């Protein structure tokens, strides 16, 4: 039998651009208004990268805040995983975070799983920590970042999408803990829903029958944009998030002499996609809305992979008195309908 090892968050941090884009600001560039946006999405304002500010800046800012919160030296980090969808270049963003932190030798890689990228990145980091602890008897420390600059792929004339999207980053430090920690992780995907939420390709091959031709931007200088079939996304998203939340509890309950139910969940951090989706998921799970994080969607909009870890340090969530033993769930869905959930238990020194 494998030994019981506990891995959990020992620090969390976030980075949000200073530039605020309100609903009234949006009304000056597209046919919309504050009442229309709030009624359909619950969003009041969002943060947008300023000129000269980058996705890397956000990722590094959140990483440094999480490292400081964990009260460790950055040199203790053995693995970096970054959930990101808008870093359209290489080297990977994770390696550039590593360089910015002045680290050498630790592993570093990006994870692309739509807005569920943070959950997938946590799963990868958790599995690596566990395997290396068992196989190599080596204790590791992981830095997991969720970051996206959705303003890079926003069509600001498309009212159906531009009102939703914001920029931001969140991060956690994860290592072996004495109490609490991650109890179960579940991830899955339904690629058949790929056309419901996608971004255009930035490049296309121009082939000459006589030989290979050059690669050019597909739209000759026009950015690739995010596209979404909002009505269909809503239905699939609600169903998916409910299934993931219940599914991760089922995983924990397998062969567990003390099974738990949804009624035992003290707090939920759902991906901040749309307030109506969050409300519907909470209703289906029969979890009171005051036990569900919603401030992120109101104040920061849909920040994709960043929305869950931003919630960990948002005062609107942290003012809730979490006590040792509380169960919490993180649940997300995203493009490709990659989705996932994490079941955690608050330890003796809660960080969320």
- Which sign does the torsion angle of CA 7, 13, 17, 20 carry? positive
Q: Answer whether the bond into residue 91 is a cis peptide, omega within 30°.
A: yes
**Residue 152 catalytic?**
no
- How far is Cα 33 from Cα 40, in angstroms, rounded to an integer? 11
How far does CA 40 lie from the centroid of its chain? 22
User: Is the distance from CB of 143 to CB of 63 less than 8 angstroms?
Assistant: yes
Catalytic residue of the set 115, 162, 199, 299: 115
Which string of b and e fits 45-56 if b means at least 16 CB within 10 Å?
Answer: bbbbbeeebebb
- For residue 324, count other CB atoms closer than 10 A to its CB: 12
Catalytic residue of the set 199, 271, 274, 299: 271
- How far is Cα 28 from Cα 45, in angstroms, rounded to an integer? 14
Quick one: 95 exposed, middle or buried, by C-beta within 10 A (0-12, 13-18, 19+)? middle
Tell which residue, 273, 306, 303, 276, has the closest CA to residue 289.
Answer: 276
- The tally of CA atoms less than 13 A away on the side-chain side of residue 65 is 21
**Residue 299 catalytic?**
no
Q: Which two tokens stand for residue 33?
A: 């208004």
**Residue 115 catalytic?**
yes
- How far is Cα 85 from Cα 96, in angstroms, rounded to an integer? 15
Tell which residue, 311, 306, 326, 290, has the closest CA to residue 118.
Answer: 306
- How far is Cα 273 from Cα 287, in angstroms, rounded to an integer? 18
Q: Which two tokens stand for residue 218?
A: 């597909």
Which amino acids are annotated catalytic?
A: 115, 271, 302
């Amino acid at each position: 039998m494998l030994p019981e090892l506990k891995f959990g968050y020992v620090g969390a941090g976030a980075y949000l651009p200073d530039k605020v884009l309100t609903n009234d600001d949006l009304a000056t560039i597209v046919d919309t208004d504050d009442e229309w946006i709030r009624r359909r999405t619950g969003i009041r304002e969002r943060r947008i990268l300023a000129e000269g500010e980058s996705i890397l800046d956000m990722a590094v800012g959140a990483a440094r805040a999480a490292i400081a919160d964990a009260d460790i030296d950055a040199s203790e980090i053995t693995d970096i995983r970054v959930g990101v969808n808008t870093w359209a270049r290489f080297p990977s963003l994770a390696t550039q975070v590593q360089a910015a932190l002045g680290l050498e030798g630790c592993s570093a890689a990006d994870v692309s799983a739509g807005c569920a990228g943070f959950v997938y990145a946590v799963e990868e980091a958790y599995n690596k920590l566990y395997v290396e602890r068992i196989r190599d008897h080596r204790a590791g420390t992981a830095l997991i970042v969720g970051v996206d600059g959705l303003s890079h792929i926003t069509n600001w004339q498309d009212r159906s999408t531009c009102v939703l999207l914001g920029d931001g980053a969140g991060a956690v430090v994860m290592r072996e803990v004495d109490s609490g920690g991650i109890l179960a992780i579940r991830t899955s995907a339904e690629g058949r829903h790929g056309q419901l939420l996608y971004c255009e390709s930035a490049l296309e091959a121009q082939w000459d029958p006589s030989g290979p031709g050059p690669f050019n931007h597909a739209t000759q200088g026009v950015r690739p944009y995010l596209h979404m079939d909002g009505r269909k996304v809503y239905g699939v998203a609600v169903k998916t998030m409910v299934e993931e939340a219940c599914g991760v509890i089922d995983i924990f309950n397998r062969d567990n002499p003390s099974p738990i139910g949804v009624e035992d969940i003290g707090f939920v951090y759902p991906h901040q996609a749309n307030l109506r989706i969050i409300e519907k998921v909470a209703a289906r799970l029969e979890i009171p809305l005051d036990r569900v994080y919603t401030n992120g969607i109101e104040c920061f909009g849909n920040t994709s992979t960043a929305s869950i870890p931003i919630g960990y340090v948002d005062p609107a969530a942290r003012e809730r008195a979490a006590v040792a033993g509380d169960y919490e769930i993180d649940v997300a869905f995203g493009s490709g309908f990659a989705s996932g959930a994490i079941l955690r238990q608050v330890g003796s020194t809660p960080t969320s």
